[in-house]
Amino acid sequence: MTILRHLLAILLLPFMVVAVIPPWLLRGWAMSDTRWSSAAINPIGHIVGVLIFLGGFALFTWCISLFARVGRGTLAPWDPTQRLVVIGPYRYVRNPMISGVVTMLIGETIFHGSRVLAIWAVTFVVFNYAFFLGFEEPDLERRFGDDYRRYKAAVPRWIPRRTGWSG
């Protein structure tokens, strides 16, 4: 049952953001979107895009693993972690999972040389910024109290610390 909970959350949230919406946008805006036009740039854009995407995917999967093992919950707001996760990449930045998804979107943007995917990545960041300020952070403060407030005061939301927070 636990695996199904995680799969459902992944399919409904990051999978839609990274695997369903980008191809839909690329098809829908094909006539007016940009693409790598130079034969010399195209392979470089593909390689760089794939490498960036894989880095984001690695970060994202690490965070999912920590949510399951340490937090005993999922990434979904309807099935949140039961314990505050402050290890691994969470020692450096409060939202590394979103950073991983954004990195995957940037990789896709570079791979395709797509202005439309760049706009989608920025839209995703803006939406998450509003979500974290309006819902996620107040909810974490309510659920984890002073532990989260101390963590929030010490670890930045988006730009990682140079050294890991030890709590």
What's the pTM?
0.92
Is there a contact between 61 and 14 (Cβ–Cβ < 8 Å)?
Answer: no
Of the candidates 58, 59, 43, the residue with the CA atom closest to the CA atom of residue 110: 43
* Span 28-37, pLDDT tens digits: 999 999 887 7
Which token pair is 3? 């695996």
* Segments making up each domain of the chain, as ranges: 2-154
Which token pair is 25? 């946008």
**Strand, helix or coil at 7?**
helix
* Span 41-70, pLDDT tens digits: 788 999 999 999 999 999 999 999 999 899
Of the candidates 146, 23, 9, the residue with the CA atom closest to the CA atom of residue 81: 9
* Span 76-125, pLDDT tens digits: 878 889 999 999 999 999 999 999 999 999 999 999 999 999 999 999 99
pLDDT at 88: 97
pLDDT at 74: 81
Pairwise CA distance, residues 61 & 18, whole Å? 14
| The amino acid at 117 | L
Pairwise CA distance, residues 154 & 137, whole Å? 14
Pairwise CA distance, residues 35 & 134, whole Å? 36
Q: Where are the alpha helices (DSSP H) in the chain?
A: 2-12, 14-15, 21-28, 41-69, 96-112, 115-131, 137-154
Residue 6 pLDDT > 80, yes or no?
no
- To the question of domain 2-154 being in CATH 1.20.120, the answer is yes
